Chain A
Amino acid sequence: MPSRILKKRSLIPGQTSELTLEAPHIAAKAKPGNFVILRVCENGERIPLTIADTDKDAGTITIVYLVLGKTTAHLETLKEGDEILDLCGPLGKDTDIHKHAGPVICVGGGTGIAAMHHIAKGHHTVGNHVIAIIGARNKDLLLFEAELKRFCPEVLVSTDDGSYGHKGLVTELLEERLKADPSVAEVVAVGPVPMMAAVARTTKPFGVKTVVSLNSIMVDGIGMCGACRVSVGGKTQFACVDGPEFDGQLVDFKELSSRLSAFKTMEQISYEKFRSGHVCTCGK
């Protein structure tokens, strides 16, 4: 069924926005770690997006996207009151959230911070001490800092150019924090593949459980097509029904990033066609 956009908030102008969607049947079931598959218009492609927040009482879910290709560019043209043609979910396994004795560190990079937010909130809800470590290229590209501060006693920030917080990588902050505090119970990382791989490398010597949320290519998202397969501990797993979260120490990140590039050329063709004005006529 179509889903109406109740609220649109531009997070990084022209690049990243947050949509609050009317979807009571999804909001009723959605848990941290879940995602949705959406299709913007009749000729559109199905794409997966992580649920960044839910409000059961209001019957809404929140998604955050980065304009990367045709579908997200089309999403960016939609306004409050417009409808998304198909919204399907919640999909994927729920994050394993339970009370830990020690703190949980949630690491987020780029748009992944939004997805990480829902997981961090879940950990906070069961009473865990949540430390957020977030990073972006520069201050203007940093997301969800204020939202995380609402429930995280510590929010550590890094930027590549040093325009805000620590100058450098999130993994440097993570390593420092792990060295200082041996009681950390778990690390969760959501962001670009190289970041998640680096987080897994960083936590390895500390032996801390490390969960990563994988952004594989998906088509149906319901356990039918196998497009989202990833190698985990040498075994083929499916991000849509076995994941999207897996043990970061066991994921073959090299294979994942190679598979993510499979349709690059064609995605570019779609995007160029859209930008050159051949706008899908079913859009608003």
Chain B
Amino acid sequence: MSAPAENSSKKAKTPRTPMPEQPAAQRVTNFTEVALGYTAELAAKEAARCIQCKKPLCVKGCPVEINIPGFIKKLAEGDLEGSYKVIRDTNSLPAVCGRVCPQETQCEGSCILGKKGEPVAIGRLERYVADTFMASDACEQLTGAHACAMEREGLKVACIGAGPASLTVAGYLSALGIKVHVYEALHEVGGVLVYGIPEFRLPKAIVRKEIDAMRAQGVEFHTNWVGGKTVTVPDLFEQGFNAVFIGVGAGLPRFLRVPGENFIGVFSANEYLTRVNLGRAYDFPNHDTPAYTGRNVAVFGAGNVAMDAARTAKRLGAERVMIVYRRTENEMPARLEELHHAKEEGIELMCLNAPVTFEADEKGWLKSITVQKMRLGEPDDSGRCSPIACEGEFCDIPCDMAIIAVGTGSNPLMAQTTPGLALNKWGYITVDEETGETSIPNVFAGGDIVTGAATVISAMGAGRRAAKEIAKRLLA
């Protein structure tokens, strides 16, 4: 520990600066952002709490290794631009990360102040700095120069997929003057940031600005190009690309495998959120994509995606939204902030319940679900207490809509058309952990297609590792 013990303990006792938010009663009626962001005063107050550890644990907790004490120090000194540059050194999407990273288990989870009191609100500070600089010149933000990096003749890299992993690769390499082409299957760039995470948690305008900054840096985006279909890895090498990064994200949703889950009114969270976010179904019929509006909605699963789906259903007019979960609140994988926001918005938690069957009316429309009571047993492989069914204890829940948010499998499209690409037994791409390289030389992969469903920041960490290696090889 570097700082005097006295100082550290005083700062630990100072409570975290609260985040201004839209009141729950108001926000359930709209899709605008819940957390409003720090003001300059609030940010300065919170930045002053950081004790500037010499060996900062928070940096180790960050998958992209942002120099956290460094950016907070500049912020505390009033040098916002300097602060932004420190963040940008390692993070291509700070406004996104400041909003959606699970900080409590990463940087903030390692903050020494958290041992005696509350950790520094690192995510909120990152968001403040990023948002402040959103509107300024993209090239200058990224490179510190008024002109963008000169393109290095003949070096080009392709990214397949335009989610957080690929965007990180594109941001990193283009800043070094390497030409990057990004191929995206959907009609919009951003991957899960635009189809999955709702507007009230991550406004699409924020994602668009980060992407515009990359465009200004020379990254070319090609939408409606499906990796493994319209464009394949062999095609790209034929076209002279030096390296390829595969970041195609999550695959097909997992279902519960209980009878009746194909009834009308039962959706995967991916479908529901894609309709609402990418298709802007919250604005139907001004936008053509429809989404179902249930009155009584049951959401299965308790991760961030489940919380997003539940809170979306509430905003679309559901009277009652329940999170049905086999374990208890303590085991829920969602970010604490999202769980807290969901509860404030009136989402009910129905813990220790597992689905058994779905029932429908004569037209095939969902009308109720039967759940079985569970109790917690010994910890299982995941380290969490395992749910055990209580014999004979069943209960019917009337509901006209169910959303399944229990994870995803691997997307098969790349594997089908990339000869020699090694996969593990679940169909995910296997990579060298140090470099992100796949079984094919100069083909790298990262994000959900390697790890299975994980966080935005872990995908960015993978993108960063791969980008470093690609840069090392191309610029050697």
Contacts and interface: CB of A to CB of B under 8 A. Distances in A.
A26 B225 CA distance: 9
B275 A219 contact: yes
B270 interface: yes
Contact of B411 (A89, A223, A236): A223
A231 B262 CA distance: 8
A1 B253 contact: no
A236 B262 contact: yes
A117 interface: no
Given A88-B185, A226-B253, A70 B411 contact: no
A260 B392 CA distance: 36
A29 B231 CA distance: 9
Contacts of A219: 271, 274-275, 278-279, 289
B171 interface: no
A220 B224 CA distance: 11
Contacts of B54: none
Interface residues of A, number: 43
Given A91-B226, A224-B274, A266-B284, A86 B412 contact: no
Contacts of B186: 88, 220, 222
Interface in A252-268: 255, 258-259, 261-263, 266-267
A115 B357 CA distance: 37
Contacts of A227: 267-268, 271
Nearest to B232: A29
B100 to A, nearest CB: 19
Interface in B207-254: 222-226, 229-231, 249-253
Contact of A258 (B264, B285, B286): B264
A87 interface: yes
Contacts of B231: 25
A132 B280 CA distance: 42
Contacts of B251: 223-224
A273 B285 CA distance: 8
B230 A90 contact: yes
A46 B290 contact: no
Contacts of B411: 222-224, 241
B270 A226 contact: yes
A225 B279 CA distance: 13
A224 B279 contact: no
Contact of B412 (A223, A267, A269): A223
B185 to A, nearest CB: 5
Contact of A25 (B225, B252, B285, B408): B225
B337 to A, nearest CB: 26
Given A227-B271, A266-B290, A222 B223 contact: no
A29 B275 contact: no
Contacts of A87: 224
A163 interface: no
Interface in A225-242: 225-227, 229-231, 236, 238, 241
A89 B226 contact: yes
A273 B283 CA distance: 14
B55 interface: no
Nearest to A47: B288
Q: Which of A45, A224, A231, A273 has the largest count of B CB atoms less than 10 A from its CB? A: A224
A10 interface: no
A244 to B, nearest CB: 14
A241 B268 CA distance: 16
Interface of B: 185-187, 195, 222-226, 229-231, 249-253, 255, 257, 261-265, 267-268, 270-271, 274-275, 278-280, 284-290, 292, 363-364, 408, 411-413
23 contacts: A25-B225, A43-B286, A43-B287, A43-B288, A45-B287, A86-B223, A90-B230, A91-B226, A219-B278, A224-B249, A224-B251, A225-B270, A226-B252, A226-B270, A229-B255, A259-B364, A262-B265, A262-B292, A263-B290, A266-B290, A270-B285, A270-B288, A273-B285
Given A1-B222, A43-B286, A259-B262, 10 more contacts: A1-B223, A25-B230, A43-B288, A44-B288, A45-B288, A46-B289, A88-B186, A220-B195, A225-B268, A226-B252
